[in-house]
Each structure stands twice: as C-alpha cells, then as structure tokens.
Amino acid sequence: MESRKENSGRQEQNSAVVVGAYSTIGIELIPLLAQKYSNIVLTESGNNYELLIQKVEEWKEKQKEVLFECINMDVLNAKDLTKLSKALETKKVTSFVYLAGVNILKPAIEMGESDWDLIMDINLKGFFLTSKIIAKRMLTFDGGSILGIASQHGVVANIDRAPYCASKAGLIHLAKELALEWAKYKIRVNIVSPTFIESQKNSDILESSKGKKEYLSKIPLREYAKPIDVCNAIMYLESDGASIVTGQNMILDGGWTIC
C-alpha cells in the first residue's frame, strides 16, 4: 500500500467500506468518513453507480489525499461479491457500513413472493453476505466495526410493510448473533434504526397533511430524522469511543417506539 503523509485525526492505513453508497445517508456520511480514513471503498449498482462516480469526483476535489475506490456491485450477485472480496485483499478494513435497502408498500395480502424475496434478499441476506466478506478481512487484523441500517419498523409494526418489517427485525437480531460470534475477533456489530428520514425525495409526503397525521403525530419530539442524525450515530458507533458497544440497536425515532 502506498505510504501517505500523516494527517491529523486520519487513520492512514485503515480502510472504510460503504455498500449502497449513493443514498440519502451515504451522500452525507462519506465526507465524514473521508475526514477519518484515507482509503474508502464504495459500492453501488445500476444507475446509482454512475451517479456515485460523479459524486466521487466532487469529493476528490475537496479531499485530494483520500483514495476513493468505486465498485459496481449487486449484493445479490455472487460474482460481484467475489469482486468486492478481491478488491479488499490488500486493505486493512476497520469500518463497514451497509446502507443498501429497499421497500415496497403493499398490503400483506397483495404482496407477491417475488416482492418478499427482493426485500428480504437486499435488506437481510445482502447484509449477511457482505458482512462475512468484511469479517474475514477484519479477523486477520485487530477487528473493527460493522454497521447496518434497520428501522423503527424492525421494532414496532406499520401497515403495508410486512416483508420490510420482517427484514429489519431480522437484521437487528442477526447483528446480535454476529456480535456474539465475532466478539472473539474484536469485531463489533451494531445497528442504527431511524424513524422516517426527511430528504428532498420525500419531503412532500412527510410534510403533507396526511404525512403529519400518520407519521409526525406518532413522534413525541414532533421531528423527523435528518440524514445527519443517522450519520452522527454511525460515526459514534464505528469510533473508538464506542469500543465497548456491540450487538446493540440504536433507535433514532424521536420517541416513536416508546408509545
């Protein structure tokens, strides 16, 4: 690995990996990771991969000392997973964040098997398969942090989200099992579970009268989560300051799940 000049606060020899990087959370998270890591591997698929490439060019202008590597990867494709594994062979990965996720809003009685499989595969199976790849790298060094993004709907139910709720609940419990199994390697596994995250894509829905009635009214703090709220939680959990934290589900819901 190319030697680099030391920068204040940056872990020069350590790498971070983000799967599903071109997302509302990813776009805000990656510049924060770039303040800490000089090597960052990012994955996306489909049209989002091209958009990620464009975004990385912007980040490179601001973080010239950071090496960004982008991989066109489908978390359900075995060859793509092998491609990720090979790309990490020479890297000391100490931080992994899984942001890939999908939801389909349908009543359970109308939900098809293909819908169920897609949601469970991306939200749950994809996390498991990519985490295994990361863990194999981490156990050869001094461990690290693995993080997944679940949801308040993995803790409490909401209508028209049967496979989504099931996948997120499974993700929370899977993280507990992996945290227990991999603790001997000093690999920490945690989950962040936000409420509805406000963004440009969904602000019209969340701020509508229907959104305020069905969603905002159930949040005691009367605030939706913002991407930076999730990023702050991720940056804490993957930091040395959380070195004793593993197998936990940090809920960022403004109080939704306490009611």
CA distances from 109 to 118, 120, 160, 212 (A): 17, 17, 9, 26
**Phi, psi values for residue 217, rounded to 5°:** -65, -20
pTM over 0.85: yes
pLDDT tens digit sequence for 172-188: 999 999 999 999 999 99
Q: What is the pLDDT of residue 24?
A: 95
pLDDT mean over 224-240: 98
Alpha-carbon gap, residue 235 to 86, rounded angstroms? 26
Assess whether pLDDT exceeds 70 at residue 10.
no
Q: What percent of the chain has pLDDT over 90?
A: 93
pLDDT mean over 86-104: 97
pLDDT tens digit sequence for 33-81: 999 999 999 999 999 999 999 999 999 999 889 999 999 999 999 999 9
Q: What is the pLDDT of residue 8?
A: 46
Question: In this structure, how many other beta carbons lie within 10 angstroms of the beta carbon of residue 229?
Answer: 20
Active site residue 185: no
Better-predicted residue by pLDDT, 17 or 3: 17
Alpha-carbon gap, residue 121 to 242, rounded angstroms? 29
User: Looking up tokens 């194999």, which residue turns up?
Assistant: 136
pLDDT band, residue 9 (cuts 50/70/90): low
User: Which member of 22, 37, 164, 224 is catalytic?
Assistant: 164
pLDDT band, residue 146 (cuts 50/70/90): very high
Alpha-carbon gap, residue 143 to 217, rounded angstroms? 42
Assess whether pLDDT exceeds 60 at residue 144.
yes
Q: What is the pLDDT of residue 212?
A: 95
CATH class of 11-249: alpha beta
pLDDT mean over 229-254: 98
State the burial class of residue 101 (Cβ atoms within 10 Å of its Cβ: 0-12, 13-18, 19+).
buried
